[in-house]
């Protein structure tokens, strides 16, 4: 009997079916052992000796493998064809050797896909274990252990509240934090564009002003409304004639088949999948024999696969779609190892595999691989130049048309944060013709900061910098989220305060080890080890001789020294300049109470960092920073914000079950108000306003009764004579005047009395390039949304509906449409609650009365 070891039971079952009765295939269920998470697992003083510990849940698996190995004539290690796969085989081999259960003959085989031919070919071409690849695994594992287990204790003692740091994780976090700093430091520039709406032979088109008063316009040339209006007037007054029509052919070549990284990026862009979800789906497709191995840097395909995909293209399309010669690709990614094929289907006759999300990912892989061997797309771009009679002002219109789709017929690559091309059609125009002018508009714009990273763009940036390996990106990103160093909003990464604090600490005290070049250089060194050109222990020794003294140096510092340095390092973020030019560190409580010398500084406490006044204990002002419940827009600890100017009562800011709130004592009772999420500059003035609600807007002219503005459990509202009208924002509670209030109440009454009225759009953006529907920004019952008449997509909470631009609206609508129709949610939870409650009749009787209590003092 021959024993074959693979990672997964699904893979084992398939391979055993291919190999026949003489073979027994068992699964290790992934790694069987690891370095135990304790001190001493890697011992630098003993030539980097390592202790390994078997996972508890793998003991029965290893026992089964050991028992089978004792009766086997041959051991075939058939784990995945990468560094991790080689490591699993090595661990199994070492365990069997230790238990004296190793068969006389041991072979290592690898296959890039789980098909009968691939498995049979691999079994006929065995090899020995690749020791340099194992050494690279050992070096990487020891580096990660030494970095984490040496640095984390420093964090716990010197930076209370910090959870951990990692060699790749900390650098990925720095990327996100650096982008946040860029956005905060960004100063927007105003600029204007002038657009003429023209028509010729019944075909409308737009032309942009590109030259004004003889000067060529760049993006920021029209920097103010005044000059923009002058330019608009010039276009309105001028008679513009076609001076030149230039037509140029364009070619677009297909992208190569997927690597691990590009698959994660495209799945995020087109399907909205996280990197970890994509890898789980790909693992399932690989184990089902549908695709080749999904952890790869290679972009080339096997010659047999290229022949198969060319046959499939020939069967589906006419000969024009198949290039004369096959396409061959090479990677541009830093540190790429092209030992394996790109990710592709194992059978190009099968265009479907799996179900649900798995089927969606397979379709993406199939189309990308097929398109990679298809003909070039042929396009034509036309540029029309128009000038007025003086020759001083010039308009330009650009259009693009696909003459031959080529690979576009199957697939087009997605992009992050890319402006839309001007792809509209232009009418046939000749020199000397004068299109009809239908209108001219001048539009105000502001330059935008760099966008926050999405999963796709973060993965792309990590790969460009050569940081980590694509196969580890999913777990790295998930770790950052699990430890609350970052959060996701609208599919973008936001740095939490805890992530900013950790990054600041590492940049200040361990700058070398969060430098992009250092981390990428370490990957280069590990690749040298995997090529057999360097001993991994020499690499570890170089790292350790500098890293260990640095950690000891920082460990000797007093915690107060650390916070003092971070207080200065983070000053611009913690204490941004005030508009009035006063000291940004001035304590608001000391200012209010007339105390001198009140300044705020970062301090360290048992549960983490916080901001406090130097006048403590006389001044008890505190503000939490980078602690649970303090990240994002509500960084306040339970503390005194100041005093109410009329009553003198202290106003406290606290965190409760329903989020942050403010509280003060009124007539020996506690008055509370939740802190709304749409207030990004919350301070004492806002706290006073909220605690003074409801606000009396005035007396209704018809009834003589008061109109109140307040905030309830469903948001801001107006109330009059028991009738309500909804307000759009917290600021509206304090800004809505009498006329607006009367109008809103009347409109609300009409909606209830005369049926639901059709809402007016907040903004109309134009025609959707694919569906043809008019895109509008609409108010909705559950918040603003964009629609093209067919698909509705919710606008993210951090985006104002008035600020939504065409490109963003298209992205939101396309992403929503890709998810399919929304699932209708029935009211199934209520019966379930009754069933559960039925088990405890006594408790159920009291439940209705208790449920009303929280609504009374919702915080």
State the catalytic residues: 293
Q: Whole-angstrom Cα distance, residue 275 to residue 456?
A: 8
Q: Whole-angstrom Cα distance, residue 74 to residue 76?
A: 6
Say whether the peptide bond before residue 617 is cis (omega within 30 degrees of 0). Answer: yes
Q: Which two tokens stand for residue 238?
A: 């001028």
**Residue 473 contacts residue 275 (beta carbons within 8 Å):** yes
Question: Which residue from 238, 189, 190, 187 is spatially nearest to 212, judged by alpha carbons?
Answer: 238
Q: Which two tokens stand for residue 688?
A: 């006073």
* Alpha-carbon distances of 664 from 648, 687, 748, rounded to whole Å: 10, 10, 34
Q: Whole-angstrom Cα distance, residue 187 to residue 169?
A: 30
484 Rama sector, left if φ>0, alpha if ψ -120 to 50, beta otherwise: left
What one-character DSSP code corresponds to residue 493?
E
CB-count burial class (<10 Å; 0-12, 13-18, 19+) for 177? buried
Pairing between strand 190-200 and 53-54? unpaired
User: Half-sphere exposure (CA, 13 Å, Cβ side) for 546?
Assistant: 10
Q: From the CA atom positions of the chain, what is the Rg in Å? A: 33
Q: Whole-angstrom Cα distance, residue 407 to residue 317?
A: 11
**Residue 179 contacts residue 453 (beta carbons within 8 Å):** yes
**Residue 259 contacts residue 331 (beta carbons within 8 Å):** yes
**Residue 615 contacts residue 595 (beta carbons within 8 Å):** yes
Q: Which long-range contacts (CB under 8 A, 24 or more apart) does 515-523 make?
A: 515/171, 516/171, 516/174, 516/465, 516/467, 519/167, 519/168, 519/171, 519/465, 519/467, 519/468, 520/334, 520/335, 520/465, 520/466, 520/467, 522/143, 522/167, 523/335, 523/466, 523/467, 523/468, 523/469
DSSP-based helix, strand, coil % in the chain, nearest 5: 40, 20, 40
> SS3 for 475?
helix
Q: Would you list the DSSP string of 22-40?
A: TEEEEE--S--EE--SSTT
User: Half-sphere exposure (CA, 13 Å, Cβ side) for 672?
Assistant: 16
User: Half-sphere exposure (CA, 13 Å, Cβ side) for 67?
Assistant: 7
Dihedral, 459, 460, 464, 469 alpha carbons, nearest 10: 30
């Amino acid at each position: 009997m021959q024993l074959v070891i693979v990672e997964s039971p699904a893979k084992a079952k398939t391979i055993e079916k291919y190999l026949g009765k003489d073979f027994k295939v068992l699964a290790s269920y992934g790694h069987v052992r690891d370095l135990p998470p304790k001190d001493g697992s890697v011992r630098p003083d003993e030539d980097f000796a390592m202790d390994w510990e078997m996972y508890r849940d793998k003991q029965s698996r290893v026992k089964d493998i050991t028992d089978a190995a004792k009766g086997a004539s041959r051991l075939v290690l058939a784990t995945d064809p990468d560094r991790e796969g080689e490591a699993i085989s090595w661990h199994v081999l070492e365990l069997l050797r230790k238990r004296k259960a190793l068969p006389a003959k041991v072979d290592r085989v690898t296959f890039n896909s789980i098909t009968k031919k691939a498995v049979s070919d691999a079994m006929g071409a065995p090899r020995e274990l690749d020791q340099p690849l194992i050494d690279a695994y050992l070096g990487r594992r020891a580096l990660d252990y030494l970095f984490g287990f040496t640095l984390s204790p420093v964090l716990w003692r010197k930076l209370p509240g910090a959870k951990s740091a990692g060699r790749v994780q900390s650098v990925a976090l720095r990327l996100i934090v650096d982008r946040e700093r860029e956005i905060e430091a960004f100063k927007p520039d105003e600029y204007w564009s002038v657009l003429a709406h023209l028509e010729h032979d019944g075909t409308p088109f737009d032309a942009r002003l590109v030259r004004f008063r003889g000067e060529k316009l760049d993006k920021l040339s029209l920097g103010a409304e005044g000059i923009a209006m002058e330019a608009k007037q010039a276009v309105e007054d001028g008679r513009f004639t076609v001076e030149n029509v230039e037509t140029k052919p364009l070619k677009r070549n297909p992208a190569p088949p997927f690597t691990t990284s590009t698959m994660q990026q495209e799945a995020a862009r087109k399907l909205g999948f996280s990197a970890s979800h994509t890898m789980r789906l790909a693992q399932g497709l690989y184990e089902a024999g549908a695709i080749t191995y999904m952890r790869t840097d290679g972009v080339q395909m096997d010659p047999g696969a290229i022949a198969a995909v060319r046959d499939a293209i020939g069967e589906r399309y006419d000969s024009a779609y198949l290039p004369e010669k096959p396409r061959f690709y090479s990677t541009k990614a830093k540190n790429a190892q092209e030992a394996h094929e790109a990710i592709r289907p194992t059978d190009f006759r099968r265009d479907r595999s799996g179900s649900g999300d798995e089927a969606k990912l397979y379709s993406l892989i199939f189309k990308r691989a097929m398109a990679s061997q298809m003909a070039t797309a042929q396009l034509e771009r036309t540029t029309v130049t128009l000038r007025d009679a003086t020759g001083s002002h010039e308009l330009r219109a650009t259009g693009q048309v696909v003459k031959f789709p080529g690979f576009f017929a199957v697939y087009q690559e997605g992009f992050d944060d890319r402006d839309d091309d001007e792809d509209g059609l232009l009418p046939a125009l000749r020199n000397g013709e004068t299109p009809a002018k239908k209108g001219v508009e001048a539009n105000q714009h502001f330059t935008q900061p760099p966008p926050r990273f999405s999963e796709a763009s973060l993965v792309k940036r990590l790969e460009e910098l050569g940081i980590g390996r694509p196969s580890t990106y999913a777990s790295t990103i998930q770790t950052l989220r699990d430890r609350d160093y970052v959060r996701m909003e609208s599919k973008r990464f936001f740095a939490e305060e805890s992530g900013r604090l950790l990054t600041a600490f590492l940049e200040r005290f361990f700058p070398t080890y969060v430098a992009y070049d250092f981390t990428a250089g370490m990957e280069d060194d590990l690749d040298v080890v995997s090529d057999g050109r360097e001993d991994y222990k020499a690499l570890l020794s170089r790292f350790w001789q500098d890293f260990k003294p640095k950690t000891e140096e920082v460990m000797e510092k007093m915690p107060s020294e650390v916070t003092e340095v971070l207080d200065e390092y983070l000053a611009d973020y913690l204490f941004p300049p005030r508009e009035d030019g006063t000291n940004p560190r001035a304590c608001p409580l000391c200012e209010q109470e007339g105390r001198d010398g009140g300044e705020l500084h970062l301090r360290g406490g048992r549960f983490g960092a916080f901001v406090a006044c130097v006048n403590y204990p006389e001044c008890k002002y505190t503000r939490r920073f980078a602690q649970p419940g303090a990240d994002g827009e509500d960084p306040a600890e339970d503390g005194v914000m100041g005093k109410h100017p009329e009553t003198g009562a202290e106003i406290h800011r606290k965190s409760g079950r329903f989020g942050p709130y403010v509280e003060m004592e009124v007539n020996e009772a506690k008055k509370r108000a939740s802190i709304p999420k749409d207030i990004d500059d919350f301070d004492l003035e806002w706290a006073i306003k909220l605690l003074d609600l409801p606000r009396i807007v005035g007396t209704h002219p018809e009834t003589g009764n008061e109109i109140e503005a307040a905030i309830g459990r469903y948001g801001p509202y107006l109330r009059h004579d028991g009738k309500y009208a909804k307000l759009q924002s917290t600021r509206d509670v304090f800004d809505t005047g009498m006329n607006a209030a009367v109008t809103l109440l009347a409109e609300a009454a009409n909606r209830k009395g005369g049926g639901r009225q059709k809402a007016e759009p907040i903004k109309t953006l134009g025609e959707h390039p694919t569906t043809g529907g008019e895109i509008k920004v609409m108010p909705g019952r559950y918040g603003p949304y964009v629609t093209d008449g067919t698909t509705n997509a919710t606008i993210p909470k951090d985006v104002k509906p008035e600020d939504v631009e065409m490109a963003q609206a298209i992205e939101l609508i396309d992403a929503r449409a890709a998810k399919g129709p929304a699932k209708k949610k029935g009211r199934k939870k209520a019966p379930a609650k009754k069933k559960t409650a039925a088990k405890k009749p006594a408790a159920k009787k009291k439940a209705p009365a208790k449920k009303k209590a929280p609504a009374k003092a919702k915080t």
